[in-house]
């Protein structure tokens, strides 16, 4: 309706930035509440078995200790596991802290010490003695893979592995060129900057206010009401600021359950912060073993594609992610066979982590495509051009939009791909070998499968308030919703205030899956349209309204004519693509340069160019930040992160950043981001596809492919550490 947009599509700085850098933004462990107690978890020292007893005498005598909770004295709760299910949980029985004497994984909470100070609770927790009857545990995926099984029930919200098409076995046998290899990825832990924490304010007026680190205040609210039978108690969950979550906050975590348990029992406010060395007990990206077989003609045209994956899960739940969902979507091939199985381990349940499934599955597929390019003598980029498909061949549907070819072209030009010398070990600079690799990425693009609501309120002083319960986990949600509302109502950005992360606000689904911008943004736009209709009717008496026919200056007059009373509108947006006969996805082409010290095997990723097709880009500044952050995480997956287990103990040994390596500033060089022009009027009402996941999907395989180009040695296991690279690295100069 305006002559041109006010701010959407422009690089607006984060509206919540000043609060964050000045300390005004409060996180879950920073809220001051009266009468506050502190809880510290006592973790199990075994991986599997039964608790036979506790010795808490010395701990209880420690000054300041109020109570020690175990399964023997915890408050009564529902018996059936159904009461503890959360909306994002996989099939199976969810873990219930302090439920009984069973120990399911190393580090499991077996006791909770509550004291009047954190220091007292921490020191007393070290004095709790627990005796066990230990049982034989299994944490080695390589050994348990022989017992892998197809999950009997699919996880809600996660697309199932596509059914076979054609006859992959026969086509593979007849193919002139065959590539087959097995790829492994190590487990990864979540280590966001903000630790998981919960502060519970126990109100005297039958209310409970929970400040929690979560990606869904509404989900936590529902979980607490059922798990603690709070049906008659008002429960409010707030998480207005989240210091990174990346999937670990999709489900209610141990801190919120135990803090509320203690608060309910003691009728006091309680805070629990999960320390860094216990973060590995909350969830992890499942490690996997994948075998990929590609059959092609002598020019590299695919004739058969087979990909079989075995991923880890826990004893209690069938944790699942879309590891192979995208494998049949990228390339033209009539004969595709995909198999996804799980192997049970004595660990906590795996959980989503940025680009869940796709980052693991694409590493195997895109590495195999790179191997095929060498087997057929094709340039890796040319091979992907040759096998391009414009449709969803697995579901026989068209794509709502697909600008992947533009990603290839613009990314290659920016990177300088035409200057690449094809032969491995052919590019060097002094003692460093130089490698260039590339890979394709894909991720789902859709609205949330659950309805989303938003409310907009125009105040008497012509300011606008936007309200919805969705969180901002650092992705820029505050900013883009503010921009969309400002545009819709023709107001300056500084006259719009956005409220998020509060279960008392209109329902909006979990922040995750790269659907938040499209889902919450569409709900906000719809609410603004309803408000504009109210304004028009209030000012002119007309019932009909076409937002495209009111000039900007006339709409400003309508705002002024609204009077001194406030006006409100609420709208609900639902999934539009279901049953529409098309598939929507974001795409990427990632080009990576590595430099490797030939003698030491030290790898540096000196350049990454990510060309992204993600529909309408609402804010280039926050969007670029999303892709760069995802690239850094993917560099960690490719070269650093390994939640290594001691299988004798059944315990993750990466308890700190000294053991669990993540990229540092010195590991990050040039990260260039290109957003190709892609218009999609079907994927969402605002044309946005989402950016959270697509930035990471193709980075690790691009790096792995660059490592091969530099060295001539194919490492098929992530992370590519020095010990995995050196044995296959030819030496020169007499070394």
Q: Is 338 helix (H, G, I), strand (E, B) or coil?
A: strand
User: Which of 623, 702, 710 minimizes the C-alpha distance to 408?
Assistant: 702
Identify the helix (H) or strand (E) that includes residue 670.
strand 670-675
Q: What are phi and psi of 349, to 5 degrees?
A: -65, 135
Question: Which residues, in sequence order, are CB contacts of 701 under 8 Å at separation 6+?
Answer: 362, 363, 365, 366, 367, 370, 437, 439
- Helix (H, G, I), strand (E, B), or coil: what is residue 49? strand
User: What DSSP state is assigned to residue 607?
Assistant: E
Q: How many CA atoms lie within 13 A of 728 on its CB side?
A: 14
Q: Any idea which residues carry the catalytic annotation?
A: 693
Please report, for residues 209, 247, 417, 547, 626, the alpha-carbon distance to residue 353 in angstroms, rounded to integers and kept in the order given. 28, 5, 31, 40, 15
Assess contact for 201 and 284: CB atoms under 8 A: no
Helix locations, 90-177, DSSP H: 118-125, 141-144, 168-174
Alpha-carbon gap, residue 494 to 463, rounded angstroms: 9
Report whether 195 contacts 29 (CB < 8 A): yes
CA gap 158, 376 in Å, rounded: 36
Distance CA 527, CA 304 (A): 48
**What's the Cα-to-Cα distance from 127 to each of 9, 45, 71, rounded to whole Å?**
57, 14, 18
Radius of gyration over every alpha carbon of the chain, rounded to an integer in angstroms: 27
Residue 262 backbone class (left: φ over 0; alpha: ψ -120 to 50; beta: rest): alpha
Taking phi over 0 as left and psi of -120 to 50 as alpha, with beta for the rest, 290 belongs to beta
Torsion over CA: 340, 635, 660, 124 (sign): negative
Residue 405 burial by CB count (10 A; 0-12/13-18/19+): exposed, middle or buried? middle
Torsion angle of C-alpha atoms 653, 659, 662, 663, degrees rounded to 10: -160
């Amino acid at each position: 309706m305006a002559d041109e947009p006010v701010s959407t599509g422009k690089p607006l700085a984060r509206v919540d930035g000043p609060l964050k850098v000045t300390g005004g933004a409060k996180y879950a462990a920073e809220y001051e509440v009266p009468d506050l107690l502190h809880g510290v978890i006592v973790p199990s020292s075994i991986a599997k078995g039964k608790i036979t007893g506790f010795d808490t005498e010395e701990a209880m005598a420690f000054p300041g200790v109020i109570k020690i909770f175990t399964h023997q004295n915890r408050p009564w709760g529902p018996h059936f596991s159904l009461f503890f299910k959360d909306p994002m949980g996989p099939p199976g029985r969810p873990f219930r802290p302090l439920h009984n004497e069973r120990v399911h994984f190393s580090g499991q909470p077996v006791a909770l010490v509550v004291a009047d100070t954190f220091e007292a609770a921490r020191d007393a927790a070290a004095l709790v003695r627990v005796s066990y009857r230990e049982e034989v545990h299994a944490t080695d995926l390589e050994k348990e893979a022989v017992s892998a099984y197809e999950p009997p029930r699919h996880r809600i919200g996660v697309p199932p592995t596509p059914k076979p098409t054609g006859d992959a076995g026969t086509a593979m046998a007849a193919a002139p060129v065959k590539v087959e290899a097995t790829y492994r990825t190590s487990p990864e832990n979540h280590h966001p900057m903000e630790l998981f924490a919960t502060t519970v304010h126990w109100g005297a007026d039958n209310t409970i206010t929970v400040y929690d680190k979560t990606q869904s205040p509404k989900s936590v609210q529902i979980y607490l009401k059922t798990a603690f039978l709070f049906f008659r108690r008002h429960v409010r969950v707030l998480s207005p600021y989240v210091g990174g979550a990346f999937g670990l906050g999709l489900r209610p975590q141990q801190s919120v359950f135990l803090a509320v348990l203690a608060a309910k029992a003691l009728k006091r406010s309680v805070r629990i912060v999960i320390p860094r060395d216990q973060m590995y007990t909350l969830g992890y990206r499942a490690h996997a073993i994948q075998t990929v077989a590609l059959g092609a003609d002598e020019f590299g045209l695919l004739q058969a594609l087979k990909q079989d994956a075995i991923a880890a899960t826990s004893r209690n739940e069938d944790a699942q992610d879309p590891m192979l969902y995208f494998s049949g979507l990228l390339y033209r091939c009539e004969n595709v066979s995909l198999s996804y199985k799980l192997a049970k381990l004595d660990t906590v349940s795996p959980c989503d982590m940025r680009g869940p499934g796709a980052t693991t599955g694409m590493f195997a597929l895109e590495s195999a495509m790179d191997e095929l390019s060498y087997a057929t003598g094709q340039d890796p980029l040319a091979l992907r051009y040759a096998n391009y498909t414009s449709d969803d061949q697995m579901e026989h549907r068209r794509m709502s939009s697909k600008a992947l070819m533009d990603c290839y072209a613009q990314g290659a030009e920016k990177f300088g791909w035409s200057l690449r010398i094809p032969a491995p070990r052919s590019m060097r600079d002094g003692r460093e070998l130089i490698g260039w690799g590339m890979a394709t990425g894909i991720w789902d693009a859709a609205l949330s499968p659950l309805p989303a609501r938003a409310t907009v309120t125009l105040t008497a002083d012509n300011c606008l308030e936007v309200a919805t319960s969705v969180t901002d986990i650092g992705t820029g949600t505050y900013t883009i919703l503010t921009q969309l509302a400002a545009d819709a109502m023709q107001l300056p950005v500084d006259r719009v205030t956005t409220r998020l992360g509060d279960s008392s606000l209109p329902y909006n689904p979990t922040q995750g899956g790269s659907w938040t911008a499209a889902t919450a943004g569409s709900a906000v736009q719809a609410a603004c349209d309803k408000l504009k209709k109210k304004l028009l009717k209030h000012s002119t008496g007309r019932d009909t309204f076409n937002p495209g026919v009111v000039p900007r200056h006339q709409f400003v007059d309508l705002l002024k004519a609204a009077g001194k009373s406030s006006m409100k509108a609420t709208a609900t947006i639902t999934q539009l693509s279901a049953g529409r006969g098309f598939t929507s996805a974001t795409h990427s082409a990632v080009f990576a340069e590595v430099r490797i010290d030939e003698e030491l095997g030290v790898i540096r990723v000196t350049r990454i160019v990510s060309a992204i097709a993600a529909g309408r880009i609402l804010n280039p500044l926050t969007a670029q930040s999303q892709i760069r952050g995802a690239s850094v995480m993917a560099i960690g997956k490719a070269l650093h992160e390994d939640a290594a287990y001691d299988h004798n103990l059944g315990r993750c040994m990466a308890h700190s950043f000294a053991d669990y390596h993540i990229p540092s500033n010195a590991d990050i060089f040039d990260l260039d981001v290109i957003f190709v022009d892609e218009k999609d009027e079907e994927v969402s009402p605002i044309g946005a596809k989402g950016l959270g996941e697509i930035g990471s999907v193709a980075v690790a395989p691009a790096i792995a492919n660059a490592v091969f180009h530099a060295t001539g040695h194919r490492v098929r296991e992530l992370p590519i550490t020095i010990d995995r690279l050196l044995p296959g690295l030819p030496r020169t100069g007499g070394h």
